[in-house]
Amino acid sequence: MELSTLNAVIPTLPEGNYKEDNLAKQKKLDWRKQVLNNKRADYGTVALLDKEFELASVERRLLEVDAFIAALTARKAAL
């Protein structure tokens, strides 16, 4: 919100220290926005990988449980 306000106001300001200060503030806010967007993108990737790993782990456990149940059923039938 502050960045959009600065983007709208800066072109209307007369040349001088006040305009330069606001241009510096605008650059800092642009940089901060870019950093936050990069962090969000990185976190999204990491979170996706974590979820995929968790899903693969659960699928593997289900296969092992199915094998265990099959072994129990076979043992029960043998008794």
Annotated domain spans of the chain: 2-78
pLDDT range class, residue 66, cuts 50, 70, 90 = very high
What percentage of the chain carries pLDDT values higher than 90? 39
Q: How far is the C-alpha of 32 from the C-alpha of 35, rounded, in Å?
A: 5
Q: How confident is the model at residue 22 (pLDDT cuts 50, 70, 90)?
A: confident
Spatial CA neighbour of 23 closest among 32, 13, 33:
13
pTM: 0.54
Q: What is the distance between the alpha carbons of residues 11 and 63, in angstroms, rounded to a whole number?
A: 64
Q: What is the pLDDT of residue 18?
A: 87
